[in-house]
Structure 1
Amino acid sequence: MVKDLEMLRELSLAEQLSRLSRLWRTVADHELAPLGLTHPRWTALWKLSRLGGSLSQKSLADALEIELPSLMRTLGQLEEQDLIARHCCHQDKRARIVTLTPAGKALLDQIEDRIIGVRRELLGGISQQELTRFEEIIARISTNAIDKLTQQSEERE
């Protein structure tokens, strides 16, 4: 028990995961900068594409795990670049639907090629078995964190 506690104090896993995330993002951002894309722009395009290419602004913000007001500026910039279009929803006139334009779809091919290249480089020297195990561990930590947040929320009620 004492040894486990010492290990938890010495290994700053959260800091390492946070650093890894920042480094990965920085490498990807640098790779995509020549395409005129900032992190918020390319991640919004990427997520929109992965979710079918047409989605409400609110759903896109939820999928990106950001607040809607934070997304609005980015969507305006993407619209100015003719990469997305926004229009009113037929079912709910208050909602705005974001769709990829042909230019946005074409740019996504370039984004995907570059992101796959970054992934290939960053995962160099790691076997598929190691990667699978790492993904399983990350999923378990995420599940534990969600369970803890749910528990905390229930305790507050």
Structure 2
Amino acid sequence: MDSTKNFNDESDLSLKLFVVLSRALQAIEKQSVANIKSHGLNLTEFAVLELLFNKGEQPIQKIRHKVLLASSSITYVVDKLEERKYIERKACPTDRRVTFAALTPKGKELMDEIFPQHREALNEILGGLDSDEKKATIEQLKKLGLYAQRL
């Protein structure tokens, strides 16, 4: 049975889509965060480590924008990860105003261990769709997001 048949117009469908997207994201995030927390990290710490793991050392300000954090928050997260010896700060050789963050050997070892597990957990969490459905959903959500950004 199609649960959208009760909706009479485009506005009703848009409201329903928003609710369904929001609930799906909440359920996916809940499972993903639980997986990340099982490794002793919070979501923001993992996001920073994952960025450095996959992209290499990054200027701290760039990290802030990539993981959507306020300036004060990124400093706090970097401090916490540095205290745990997962990352280190490095001065930029060409611009004294820029500081990079890089994984330490301990941080790389941690991510070598947990990133494949996290990837598999996401595969399981998103296992409700097959490969073709995932590809189609990615394209549709990109289209929707780009349209919303242009408004």
Normalising to structure 1: TM-score of the pair?
Answer: 0.83
* Offset at residue 112 of structure 1 (A): 1.3
Q: What pairs up with 1:74-93 in 2 under 5 angstroms? A: 74-93=77-96
Deviations 1:40-84 (A, max 9, x none): 111110112222x21110011111122222111111110011000
Note if 1:27 corresponds to 2:35: no
Question: Which amino acid in the other structure matches residue 130 of structure 2?
Answer: S
User: Please, which of 60, 63, 69 is the counterpart of residue 63 of structure 2?
Assistant: 60
Q: How far apart are the structure 1 equivalents of 2:91 and 2:100?
A: 6
More helix by share: 1
Structure 1 alignment gaps of length 5 or more:
149-157
User: Please, which of 13, 20, 26 is the counterpart of residue 7 of structure 1?
Assistant: 13
Aligned-residue CA RMSD (Å): 1.7
8 Å Cα contact 1:82-1:101 kept in structure 2: yes
Identity %: 23
Structure 2 alignment gaps of length 5 or more:
1-7
Q: How far apart are the structure 2 equivalents of 1:91 and 1:16?
A: 49
- Structure 1 residue ranges (4+ consecutive) displaced by more than 4 angstroms after TM superposition: none
8 Å Cα contact 2:89-2:100 kept in structure 1: yes
SS at match of 1:35: coil
User: Please, which of 46, 50, 70 is the counterpart of residue 50 of structure 2?
Assistant: 46
State the match for 1:97 in structure 2: 100
* Offset at residue 15 of structure 1 (A): 3.3
State the match for 2:129 in structure 1: 126
Q: How far apart are the structure 1 equivalents of 2:72 and 2:59?
A: 14
